[in-house]
Structure 1
Amino acid sequence: MKVEVISKGLFSLIVDEGRKGKQRQGFSQSGPMDEIAYRWANFLAHNPDNTPCLEVMGKMTVCFHEPTIVAVAGRQVKVQVNGHDQPSYSSIKVNKNDRLSFESEYVGSKAYLAICGQWKVPYHVDSACTVVRESLGGLHGDGRVISDSDCIDISRCDEQTYATLSVRQLPIRHSMSMQHGISIKHSMSIKCGENVAYDLNAPLRVIKGYQEAHFSQVAKRMFESSEYTVSSSIDRMGYRLTGADIASSLSSMRSEAIHVGAIQVPPDGQPIIMMRDRQTLGGYPKLGCLNPLDVSRLAQRVPGETVSFIFQNSEEARADILLSRQHVQRLRGEIA
């Protein structure tokens, strides 16, 4: 089955779960900026985890040469098939020659298109993920982003299997929370911890890092009590924030490995949060690291929006992650 790109949007690329465990060899981890939306899109399109999909900024339009099932997820995403509105966070059955268009309502936020089937794309270092600065991955294997008229080859399931695939849909209370940035915990009064991705009011959770002792108590209180603005200097490598200075007493340090969500603080005191395509090593002191669940929330912020932070210990972070995994398994019907 061919999927033709009619309009590529502003910046679109192929992502999967990334090159895990390859930083020691010098490769960026890569992967989806919003891992939560990426995983939901694949599940709703009846794909196994780690299936490639399209990460898109701006409005993309694609044409399907055969019937298939797709799903679109992301922050406040609008979806249409042949000009007719369709739900996000839901399986969508498309027919031959149908045109699907989708975009986030926020320019700079990411939307994810998952298409049912096995993607026939090149794999390099165990991943199809595109890393532009490494000239690696993507549709042509050389790090190029998606262009107009590109065609993606996908092995769709046979007619009998296709006819039996059900329409999956994230329950409305969960999908609406993702779409409108409202925590389920706050809006639906259900168990604490069962919140989803885009609560814009809740602070981002931070586990203190190796160099936190080199930041004064005043600097740490300032960091936790201040709002920071997402600057225009953001990309898949990192998000530079502007706000209260939180300079460290460290004037120099040896470079060390950088985890996704690490909060580096250069000499100007303005935090930089490292994202999926970050470099493997860095030499700025790190105040801490985002709770992995909050990396997706930050990834969907756009320049001019604000974020705040709250410290938590590693055991609290671990409990958050375990509760979240259990909640997702319930929504998927994997556990009672």
Structure 2
Amino acid sequence: MKIEVLNKGLYSLIIDNGRVGRQRDGFCESGPMDSNAYDWANFLAFNLDGTPCIEAIGEMRLKVDEDCTVAVTGREPTLCIDGIPSAAYQSQQVSAGAVITFGSVLLGSKVYLAIGGNWQVPKAVGSACTVVREQLGGLDGKGSALKEGDCIEVLTNTRNQESAKMRSLAQRHIDDYGFLESIRVIPGYQFSNFSTVALRTFETSSYTVSSAIDRMGFRLIGEPVTADIENMRSEAIHLGAIQVPGDGQPIVMMRDRQTLGGYPKLGCVSPCDISRLAQAVPGEKVNFVFQDEEEARADWLLMTSRRRRLQGEIL
């Protein structure tokens, strides 16, 4: 099957699980900004974990030339098939020649389109993920974002999908992408280099998501916090690490972050909350709270076991 891009939206990429374990070789991790939505999209489209899909910002339009099964997820996602509104977070059977239009009600948030089958896209350093900054991945192998006229090939297995029960995730189980609850932060290596006043300021202040956000990092605007470190050696940066440069304005490092950084770090956003933060758009306000690493680990285990239980119930 060929998927033709009719409208690329604002910014659309082919992504998968990313280049896990390759930071030591100088490659950024990459992968989905909202890993929860990405995982659900593939599950609902009858794909294996780690199958490539499309991460899009803005409204995107595609045309398929064979029958297939698709699923759209993300923050407030929308989906139309041949102009007819269809449910997101649900398996959808699409006929040959159909036009799929998907996006988000909230401009700037990410949506994910999974199409059931084996994606025939090139891999670089073990992943099909597109990293524009590194000129790596994508259909051309040079890190190019999707554009009008691009064609993606997928080997579909509609016989198995048509005989299977269509899958859907109930509204009550879809992630809450609001920010009434604080983003949990696990203290990092330089935590003790921040004064009690600085740490209290960080926990009690609201930070505005700036317009300077991308897949590399989210810059926040609010009460400045500083550490007593003047110089430090660069060290590896984990997903969600909160770096504090000289101006005291925190930067949360995201999927396409550089491998090393030399700014002091308050800590790391909990893996339970990083997908929620990744869906924030400029102007939204977020709050943070520090969390013990053992509590964070327990929360992560509960979240992953809940997802597997839900998927088992849906099967």
* TM-score normalised to structure 1 length: 0.92
User: What residue in structure 2 maps to residue 161 of structure 1?
Assistant: 160
Give the aligned residue type for 1:35.
S
Matches within 5 A, 1:1-336: 1-157=1-157, 159-175=158-174, 178=175, 181=176, 198-333=177-312
Q: Is the 8 A contact 2:184 2:290 kept in 1?
A: yes
Q: Identity across aligned pairs (percent)?
A: 55
Q: 1:275: Cα distance to partner?
A: 0.1
Distance in 2 (CA, whole Å) between partners of 1:161 and 1:240 is 45
Q: 1:161: Cα distance to partner?
A: 2.0
Q: Is the 8 A contact 2:187 2:292 kept in 1?
A: yes
Which structure 1 segments of 5+ residues have no match? Answer: 182-197
Give the aligned residue type for 1:290.
V
String of CA shifts for 1:274-316, please: whole Å, max 9, x gaps. 0000000000000100001111011100000000001101000
SS at match of 2:224: coil
Give the aligned residue type for 1:84.
I
Q: How many residues align?
A: 315
User: C-alpha root-mean-square deviation of aligned residues, in Å?
Assistant: 1.2
Distance in 2 (CA, whole Å) between partners of 1:298 and 1:85 is 28
Give the aligned residue type for 1:287.
L
Distance in 2 (CA, whole Å) between partners of 1:118 and 1:47 is 8
Distance in 2 (CA, whole Å) between partners of 1:234 and 1:84 is 33
String of CA shifts for 1:71-98, please: whole Å, max 9, x gaps. 0000001111111111111001000111
Q: 1:172: Cα distance to partner?
A: 2.7
Which structure 2 segments of 5+ residues have no match? Answer: none
Distance in 2 (CA, whole Å) between partners of 1:275 and 1:260 is 6
Distance in 1 (CA, whole Å) between partners of 2:98 and 2:173 is 28
Q: 1:160: Cα distance to partner?
A: 3.0
Give the direction of change, closer, same or farther, for the CA distance of 1:335–1:119 in structure 2 (3 Å limit): closer
